Structure 1
Amino acid sequence: MVSFKDTKQEGEFYQDYGRFVHYHTPSQLIRYYSNFFLYDEVPDLATFKADEKLQSDFHEARGQHHLLFIFPDNVELPHDLMLYAESASYKLEKMELYRTDNLTLKKRSGDVKVVSENDEIFADFLKVCRAGELEYGEEFADLKEEMHTRDLEDDSIIQLVAYHEDQPVGKLEAIINESIIELDDFYVLEGFRGLGIGSALQQQVLTFGKSLLLIADGNDTPREMYERQGYRKISERYELLKVKSSSD
């Protein structure tokens, strides 16, 4: 059974506490999903508060301004923990894992190219990436460009760029894991959505394997769209994220 454990983990292993694993990546301190606690079991409220202090002290000592806790698959959080998280200004996310072995797309538009070397196609890929990543600030966009350049040397990483009338307007990154392909990052420029560019990218990436996986935000997932495309939800998990201001 495929689960979230089969998806790509960007963070570097730091320490296993038994109940959870601490991921910490010194080169990516501002990236939430490179620095977090991944639980093997859901803690009670008192235990969570102790874990919270541990991560908070650790991050503050390194100039980090976020807290992120990821819980096990398909487990509801205790009511008192959810109430505490709300009162402490955490953002509760329910992430959903989808899979398809039979992608069904009604429309297709655009020319899709595979990035294979540091050339003009890769430059177009970076251009589209940066357009979406700037939403999180210049520093984050610069960090992601370093990661994309590193991924160019990784044979398990697929980088695709989609064109509309010779203009780069969409991109998709994916990870090959045997016959399963995980869609890692998927973006189409605003103004070019609804033209079938996303369908073209998905059709192209499916040529690398038999099944597709994607992780979506359950709070605003267009579930009906995924189901029409042939995806089915196979797992879900909760995450708690808190971003503190530098004055906190």
Structure 2
Amino acid sequence: MVSFKDTKQVAEFYSENTRYTHFHTPSQLIRYYSNYFEYKVMPSLETFKEDEKMQSDFHERHGQQHLLFIFPENEPLPQDLKDYAEASGYTTEKMELYQTEELTLGKRAGEVRIVGDDQTFKDFLTVCRVGEREYGEEFADLKTEMHTADRADDSVIQLVAYDHGQPVGKLEAILHGDLIELDDFYVLETARGKGIGTALQEKVLDYGQSLILIADGNDTPKEMYERQGYRKISERYELLKVKSSS
């Protein structure tokens, strides 16, 4: 069965124990999903507090401003842990994994090209940066480095969509054997609702029919995914806290 473990992970293993795996990536200290604890078993509140201090001290030593904990798939967070997280300033995220093998697409618009030459890659990065700058220039620069590395990875497909000749959307897809993971999916706000995203997804079908994607369960447009033929196959909770840099 497909699970979150079948999705792309850009994080370096640091250590592990019987309860969690610690991921720490020195080259990407500002990227949350490269530096976190991933639990193997659901912790009690008291155990979580101990782990929280451990990660906090570790990240402080490395000049990091966030805490991130990922919990086991398909297990609800205990209420006392939820209450503590809310009182402590964490954002509680419920991430959902979707899959389809019969994608049903609506209206489509624009022209989609596979990133190949330098110009299409430049256009791809232009669209990427619009969305990524929302998290700061340093993060956007890091993502440019990651996209550049992905360009040389045969398992990664980079697509850019055009509307009247202007780059307005992009998508990265990762090949996992028979599975295709949709990742870094973004359409400029001014181009949304036209069918640009549909055209990007349609192009991915050139590589196979079994598609998966991760969506934020807090604001997932579930009806849209269901109309397109996706079904939710797994979910997991995450706790994120970003410390003030002041």
**Aligned residue number for residue 98 of structure 1:** 98
* CA drift at 1:116: 2.5
* CA drift at 1:26: 0.3
**Aligned residue number for residue 158 of structure 2:** 159
Which consecutive unaligned segments of at least 5 residues does structure 1 have? Answer: none
**Aligned residue number for residue 239 of structure 2:** 240
User: How many matched pairs?
Assistant: 246
Matching residue's letter, 2:184:
D
Structure 1 residue ranges, 4+ long, deviating more than 6 angstroms after superposition: none
* CA drift at 1:115: 0.9
- What percentage of residue pairs aligned between the two structures are identical? 71
Asked if 2 retains the 8 angstrom alpha-carbon contact of 1:12 and 1:23, the reply is: yes
Matching residue's letter, 1:150:
A
* CA drift at 1:210: 2.1
TM-score, structure 1 normalization: 0.98
TM-score, structure 2 normalization: 0.99
Structure 1 residue 148 corresponds to structure 2 residue 134: no
Q: Render the CA deviation track for 1:112-166: whole Å, top value 9, x for unaligned.
A: 000124x100000000000110000100000000000011110001100000000
**Aligned residue number for residue 229 of structure 1:** 228
**Aligned residue number for residue 131 of structure 2:** 132
Q: Render the CA deviation track for 1:15-58: whole Å, top value 9, x for unaligned.
A: 11221100000000000000000111110001000000110000
Q: For the residues of structure 1 that align with 2:21 and 2:157, how far apart are their CA atoms?
A: 28
Q: For the residues of structure 1 that align with 2:227 and 2:120, how far apart are their CA atoms?
A: 31
**Aligned residue number for residue 77 of structure 1:** 77
Asked if 2 retains the 8 angstrom alpha-carbon contact of 1:176 and 1:209, the reply is: no
Structure 1 residue 25 corresponds to structure 2 residue 20: no
**Aligned residue number for residue 4 of structure 1:** 4
Q: For the residues of structure 2 that align with 1:181 and 1:86, how far apart are their CA atoms?
A: 35
Asked if 2 retains the 8 angstrom alpha-carbon contact of 1:93 and 1:219, the reply is: yes
Q: For the residues of structure 2 that align with 1:219 and 1:106, how far apart are their CA atoms?
A: 24
Asked if 1 retains the 8 angstrom alpha-carbon contact of 2:30 and 2:139, the reply is: yes
Asked if 1 retains the 8 angstrom alpha-carbon contact of 2:103 and 2:209, the reply is: no
Q: For the residues of structure 2 that align with 1:90 and 1:221, how far apart are their CA atoms?
A: 20
**Backbone CA RMSD of aligned residues:** 0.7
**Aligned residue number for residue 113 of structure 1:** 113
Asked if 2 retains the 8 angstrom alpha-carbon contact of 1:162 and 1:197, the reply is: yes
Q: For the residues of structure 2 that align with 1:125 and 1:108, how far apart are their CA atoms?
A: 19
